[in-house]
Amino acid sequence: MAKKSRPDEEAAPPDVRRQVAELDRQIAAAVGRRAELTRQAAADGGGVLERLEAKSLQDAAKLAGGLGAERIVAVFREVNAACRPSSPQCRIAYLGPEDTFSHIAAIHRFGAAADLTPVATIAAVFQEVESGAAGYGVVPMENSTDGRVSDTLECFSRSPVRICGELPLRVHHCLLGTGKRADVRRVFSKPQALSQCRNWLAQHLPQAQGQPVASTAEAAAMAAKDPAAAAIASRQAGQRLGLRLLAEDIEDQKDNITRFAIIAPRPAEKTGADKTALMFETPHEPGALADAMAVFKRKGLNLTWIESFPVPGSRGRYLFFVELVGHQAEVRVRRAVEALQKKALMLEVLGSYAHAEPIG
């Protein structure tokens, strides 16, 4: 005789179950049809697919209904991700392993169901995009506490890939380990993360030595094997490896934001609220940088970022990275680039992309 289930074990009243099953069937059929159309759009090129997805997210925000814009946009981000064809063009490379902050940023931008591929270094992310093995890459560009990420700037100085998006992510660091905090002698992390927590470490773990590794998630994996070690990494990395949360939110600045660049073979189209990144080298003579800056002033262009960076393999030569408000398709940006090109030894437009607000 079949065992009679107790009412509290039942999922829901039969008519609710029937309606949910019917709606789910309709959703699955609609997503299937959507995947088919997405595949057709993707066949016309990455730019076509990007526009389709951007419009879909914009419209989703307006369809919000009772759910609220943020939730419905999150649902549609996953619909977009699930519908993308599995092709190199739709693959996204990031600094792995899983649960690095680059991975978290990639999920925010492309969805957890996207084809997200971890690689071992930032240079390898560029390489994947350059070779066409991936259509996009996610790389950290600068941090509000620690400044530029030099590996990324160095890659820009020798790679033809472009920036097609920015993603400022609020970064909260955890101290993770297998033992007790008092027993920690080594703290593994990426140098940027160690630096973002240096005051906390000096105050709470003065006996521990910082051990630089390639990423925060790799640091978590190291700490999992060493009872006298801890890692600075994401909460997600600790959960995946079953590490103990020895301390949380240990970043020195409470508003600790890392700005990621989304890299691709081409820049993004104009949205009306865009920024443009440039890289140039000025002649080594008095006033050369001031002359370059005067171009932006004359064209009324507001700068949002400026970095100087040594030209790799040379002494005394510097590259300047500048970001300004406006899209390279706008006349005044184009004119500024033309004027600067006449003065600079080298100038490259790294890309134009939509301005984004911090998330997370």
Ligand X SMILES: O=C(O)C(=O)C[C@]1(C(=O)O)C=C[C@@H](O)C=C1
CB of 244 to ligand X, least distance (A): 19
| Residue 282 in the binding site for ligand X (CB under 6 A) | no
Active site (annotated) includes residue 216:
no
Helices and strands in the chain, H and E counts: 12, 15
CB of 122 to ligand X, least distance (A): 7
| Residue 134 in the binding site for ligand X (CB under 6 A) | no
Angle between helices 14-43 and 69-83 (to 10 degrees): 60
CA–CA separation, 129 vs 301, rounded Å?
30
x/- track of binding to ligand X for residues 174-203 (CB under 6 A): ----------------x-xx----------
Return left, alpha or beta for 76; rule: phi > 0 is left, psi -120 to 50 is alpha, else beta: alpha
CB of 358 to ligand X, least distance (A): 13
Q: Which of 260, 280, 296, 321 is catalytic?
A: 260
Q: Which amino acid is at 6?
A: R
Report, in this order, helix, strand and coil percent for the chain, each rounded to 5: 45, 25, 30
Residue 28, strand partner residues: none
Nearer to ligand X, 80 or 236 (CB): 236
Q: Cite the beta strand spans of 201-286 per DSSP E.
A: 209-212, 229-233, 244-248, 257-264, 274-281
| Residue 127 in the binding site for ligand X (CB under 6 A) | no
- Enumerate residues 86-125 that contact ligand X by CB under 6 A: 95, 100-102
Nearer to ligand X, 194 or 333 (CB): 194
CB of 289 to ligand X, least distance (A): 27
**Among the residue ranges 6-14, 53-61, 75-83, 213-221, the one whose residues contact ligand X (CB under 6 A):** 213-221
| Residue 263 in the binding site for ligand X (CB under 6 A) | no
Nearer to ligand X, 184 or 233 (CB): 233
Active site (annotated) includes residue 260:
yes
CB 347 within 8 A of CB 339: no
Q: Cite the beta strand spans of 75-184 per DSSP E.
A: 91-95, 115-119, 136-143, 147-148, 162-170, 174-177
| Residue 236 in the binding site for ligand X (CB under 6 A) | no
CB of 308 to ligand X, least distance (A): 19
| Given 89, 178, 211, 215, the residue binding ligand X (CB under 6 A) | 215
Size of the site for ligand X (CB under 6 A): 15
Q: Which of 38, 145, 216, 258 is catalytic?
A: 258
C-alpha torsion 62→66→72→75, nearest 10? -150
CB 192 within 8 A of CB 145: no
Q: How many CA atoms lie within 13 A of 204 on its CB side?
A: 17
For 6, phi then psi, to 5°, come to -75, 150
CB of 123 to ligand X, least distance (A): 13
| Residue 205 in the binding site for ligand X (CB under 6 A) | no
x/- track of binding to ligand X for residues 32-51 (CB under 6 A): --------------------
Binding site for ligand X (CB under 6 A): 95, 100-102, 140, 143, 149, 171, 190, 192-193, 215-217, 258
Active site residues: 258, 260
